[in-house]
Amino acid sequence: MESWVRKISLHEPSLKDNTGDADRLANALKRDLKTDNPVEIDLQLIRQLPEFIRRWSHQLRCVIFKDRGKYVLAGISDGEGIRPIAGIAVDLGTSRVVVRLINLETNETLAESAFDNPQAAIGPDILVRIHHADTPSGLEELSDLIVRELNRTIKHLCQQGEMETTDIYLIVVSGNTAMTHLFLKLNPHWIIREPYIPAANRLPLIKAAELGISINSTGRLMAFPNIGSYFGGDLISGVLYSGIHLQEETSIMVDVGTNAEVVLGNRHWLIACAGAAGPALEGGVTRMGMMAGAGVIDRVTIDPETHDFQIHTIEEKPPVGICGSGLIDLAANLFSTQMLDIRGKFVASNCGNRLIEKNGIDYLVIVPETESATGKALTISQPDIESLIRSKAAMFSILETISTTVGINLDTLSRFYVAGTFGSFINPASAITIGMLPDLPIESYQPLGNSSLGGATLALTKPSCIDDIDKIRGKITYLELNVNQDFMNRFSAAKFLPHTDPSRFPSVPPR
């Protein structure tokens, strides 16, 4: 099994071999790793070595990591395995931060926790936070908000995992470019101003203590590199987790978080684009509904004969609202049952008494007030449907644009990975019905779950994949959507259900 933890048995020094302790350890690690690359041991660790090496009778476990070709010692522990050795994977999301505690010797996940990004107190919108970073000590404040909550969570996870925070030697953080900047106290001022330049795309391996993170004082923190302002480390992490970059056949990965980001490719090439800057995505794919949670409608079916609604809620609690996947299910079923026309307008004759009107706006009742947990009817308005259609059209246009750029037909893709919460809940058949995702066999669709956290976990547990991160970065061609003229034409054509050209969706029954 691969592991960043190496058991090292040092030769005892003698009068004939007066190599220094640190040099002896670096040499032993080089032999153990079968590498000619340098192994760096920093001054803080060198200070600990003489005492610990002798206390542990020259038997020790070393936690290493790799950074741009060189290996770095992140910590040492006793050779007998008295103390555990752990790492932390972090998905640093704009709205939510997910933290996973991992045993670095067994590579098991020991515990997991999440918290709402406390930077939301400054502004839920990332732009507000970026502007706040320009105010006096605003950047420090934003970073400290995350660090404080991260420390609290790490402490809590360690209690669950029955260890001390000093047993943690590695942290891998995967976030978008802006979040990574704010976390590392890099001012993101220029990433929102033309030509949108990050302070750094590749980030140095730092001491976690440099940011005030309470793990072992010699422990290291790696942040996934970005490709540009609108294509962050979370995506690189996602590609790593998907394995697209290792496959001979061409696959696609879509991550719908705050932005809609797409990577297409195989082991020979990768092309990526992100939709955040596209005007069509304003209002965003993710604003279609509320966050998933107990009582939120995540699946809907409508009986084609009776037009009865069958709804499913998370944890099967009384309904409180609808999330993105539920909305897509709803729209697909409304369309199949001809309650929506190809323009996405409610068909009054088929909607019956579910259709109501208020202040000149049409609403469709999903759940009547008698069955709703809120005491009010749960409805969807004509503008909500139009917003959904803009979002799905944007999504499909992004997919078409990126595939056309490389001369690939979307139908020929071997796998379609859908990352994120969205990917876990979405019903691909419904997404195809409304023309959001291409008309591939259902089994081509594979949910990845939290691919950003998955990639960070891989970096912590599979040393052989570390070099892949830079390879992925080096291989990806980034397509800037907001400067692409074709995009707007495709977007207009995709604003119908499923599309102005129904031949692209053969599995969707024609009207």
Which residue number, 56 or 196, has a Cβ lying nearer to its own copies? 196
Taking a C-beta distance cutoff of 8 angstroms, is the pair 153, 165 a contact? no
**Interface with its own copies includes 144 (CB under 8 A)?**
no
**Interface with its own copies includes 19 (CB under 8 A)?**
yes
Which residue number, 69 or 318, has a Cβ lying nearer to its own copies? 69
What is the rounded distance in angstroms from the CA atom of residue 25 to the CA atom of residue 79?
A: 13
Which residue number, 113 or 187, has a Cβ lying nearer to its own copies? 187
Alpha-carbon dihedral sign for residues 276, 441, 322, 305: positive
What string marks each residue from 29 to 68 as x (binds its own copies by CB under 8 A) or -?
Answer: ---------x-xxxx--xx-xxx--x-------------x
CA geometry: angle 309, 311, 316, nearest 5 deg: 155
Which residue number, 224 or 241, has a Cβ lying nearer to its own copies? 224
Which helix (DSSP H) or strand (DSSP E) does residue 478 occupy?
strand 476-478
Taking a C-beta distance cutoff of 8 angstroms, is the pair 385, 344 a contact? yes
Shortest distance, position 100 Cβ to its own copies, whole Å: 24
One residue of 21, 105, 255, 400 binding its own copies per CB under 8 A: 21
Question: Of 239, 129, 115, which Cα lies nearest the Cα of 179?
Answer: 129
Shortest distance, position 56 Cβ to its own copies, whole Å: 15
**Interface with its own copies includes 217 (CB under 8 A)?**
no
Which residue number, 69 or 383, has a Cβ lying nearer to its own copies? 69
Which helix (DSSP H) or strand (DSSP E) does residue 145 occupy?
helix 138-160
Which residue number, 14 or 349, has a Cβ lying nearer to its own copies? 14
Shortest distance, position 478 Cβ to its own copies, whole Å: 8
Which residue number, 121 or 197, has a Cβ lying nearer to its own copies? 197
Taking a C-beta distance cutoff of 8 angstroms, is the pair 448, 241 a contact? yes
Which residue number, 52 or 115, has a Cβ lying nearer to its own copies? 52
What is the rounded distance in angstroms from the CA atom of residue 18 to the CA atom of residue 417?
A: 56
**Tokens 């061409």 belong to which residue?**
250
CA geometry: angle 300, 362, 279, nearest 5 deg: 80
Site for its own copies in 463-492 (CB under 8 A): 478, 480, 483
Q: How many residues bind its own copies (CB under 8 A)?
A: 50
**Interface with its own copies includes 270 (CB under 8 A)?**
no
Phi, psi of 453 (to 5 degrees): -65, -35
CA geometry: angle 474, 478, 480, nearest 5 deg: 160
SS3 assignment, position 102: strand
Q: What is the DSSP letter of 144?
A: H
**Interface with its own copies includes 293 (CB under 8 A)?**
no
One residue of 87, 198, 233, 321 binding its own copies per CB under 8 A: 198
SS3 assignment, position 87: strand
**Interface with its own copies includes 190 (CB under 8 A)?**
yes
Residues that bind its own copies (CB under 8 A): 13-15, 17-23, 26, 38, 40-43, 46-47, 49-51, 54, 68-70, 184-187, 189-190, 194-204, 206, 210, 226, 228-229, 478, 480, 483
